[in-house]
Amino acid sequence: MNDTDPKTLPDLERIKQAIADDFDEELEMQLEDERLDELVAEGMGGAGETLDRKVYFRELFRLQHELVRLQDWVAYKKLKMVVLFEGRDSAGKGGAIKRVTQRLNPRVARVVALPAPTERERHQWYFQRYVPHLPTAGEIVLFDRSWYNRAGVERVMGFCTRDELGEFFRSVPEFERMLVRSGIILVKYWFSITDEEQEFRFKMRMHDPLKQWKLSPMDLESRVHWEDYTRAKEEMFHRTHTGGGAVVGGAGGGQEAGAAKHDRAPAQPGGLRRRPEAGRRTAGAGPACRLRAPSRAARAVRAGRVLRAVDEAGARQAGACPVGRLSIPAGAIRPSA
């Protein structure tokens, strides 16, 4: 990441940075600590970066060592720990989880990323599908998205009713208090991202056959509903916060894990909270209603930008190897009323 504001960087330079981050990740996965330390000592760093790669790797290894010690402590003391990763699409949750678990014992630390609920699960108690994945003594469970889906994607995309949403807001603080009373250490993270950066990352995924699996029609439609997700997030923070904050805001970035790994948050029940971020707010409004709803014209413009990006990606891939070719069903992106 350069000292220059990312908004002013040419797209080509930003793409080079993203590729460099991917190479870093491959090095982390394939090389042993000793060899990586040698590479750092030899000067693996890019000139003019905000966070020099030498500094990044040294800090990453130090923090991963602390995570190994945490894992040993949890196993020795027979503790139970749950970590929730929530946030915007493409904000860096997956990258942070990968770096957190990279050097941990999979028998102690495991990741839970549940698919869309089945027909049977849709008629169960909402939290029921998550309960079987909670840890036993000596385990750490990391949820790649969690029960907060109801207050985010399910609400915005119309997958739950107003009554179901209201019941969720009433139930989630008590549900989390129950988890803590049972001896679970509960920590929650929210990863945010700017509108412009999300659009850039989506375009990167459209043009990269190795990453197109990360992009679904639902992700693309979320671009149209950017403001709706912002309003839903604000209300979720407001209505689930109980004053015992266990959540830390984490900013997404090319090297995402730093903010999360620096955390020393108390493990007590509390609603999702995040560090302040820029938003489209109206002065003097209440916490749950201070964001203006976007106009139909604004949503149509946003939908047009998404469709143009999809068309460009398809045109670039015309005549190329069909494996990995982006395929978006007709009607998957539409401006909402």
For residue 104, give the nearest of 132, 142, 48 by alpha carbon. Answer: 142
- Please check the confidence at residue 335 and state whether its pLDDT lies above 80: no
Answer with the residue of higher pLDDT: 96 or 284: 96
Spell out the domain ranges in the chain: 64-117+126-317
Max mean pLDDT range (194-208, 305-319, 320-334): 194-208
Specify burial of residue 77 (Cβ count, 10 A radius: 0-12, 13-18, 19+).
Answer: exposed
Q: What is the pLDDT of residue 235?
A: 94
Contacts 24+ apart (CB under 8 A), 176-181: 176/269, 176/270, 177/269, 179/82, 179/134, 179/269, 180/267, 180/268, 180/269
Q: What is the pLDDT of residue 54?
A: 80
Look up residue 172 and give its amino acid.
V
Tell me which CATH code domain 64-117+126-317 carries. 3.40.50.300
What is the rounded CA–CA span in Å between residue 265 and residue 188?
A: 9
Strands (E), the chain: 80-87, 109-112, 139-144, 184-192, 247-251
Confidence of residue 257 (pLDDT cuts 50, 70, 90): very low
pLDDT in tens, 113-126: 999 999 999 999 99
Q: What is the pLDDT of residue 177?
A: 93
Q: What is the pLDDT of residue 51?
A: 67
Beta bridge partners of 140: 81, 109
CB-based contact 320:208 (threshold 8 Å): no
CB-based contact 260:63 (threshold 8 Å): no
Count of CB atoms situated within 10 Å of the CB of 199 = 18
Answer with the residue of higher pLDDT: 237 or 213: 237
Tokens for 38, please give them.
Answer: 């040698």
Provide the 3-class DSSP secondary structure of residue 134. coil
Query: What average pLDDT score do residues 83-93 get?
Result: 93
What is the rounded CA–CA span in Å between residue 21 and residue 25?
A: 6
Lowest mean pLDDT among 36-45, 92-101, 131-140, 168-177: 36-45
- Spell out the residues 6+ positions from residue 165 whose beta carbon is closer than 8 angstroms to its own: 150, 151, 154, 155
pLDDT in tens, 214-246: 888 788 888 889 899 999 999 999 998 865 445
Q: What are phi and psi of 130, to 5 degrees?
A: -90, -25
Look up residue 191 and give its amino acid.
F
Confidence of residue 9 (pLDDT cuts 50, 70, 90): low
Q: What is the pLDDT of residue 108?
A: 97
Q: What is the pLDDT of residue 207?
A: 81
Global pTM value: 0.67
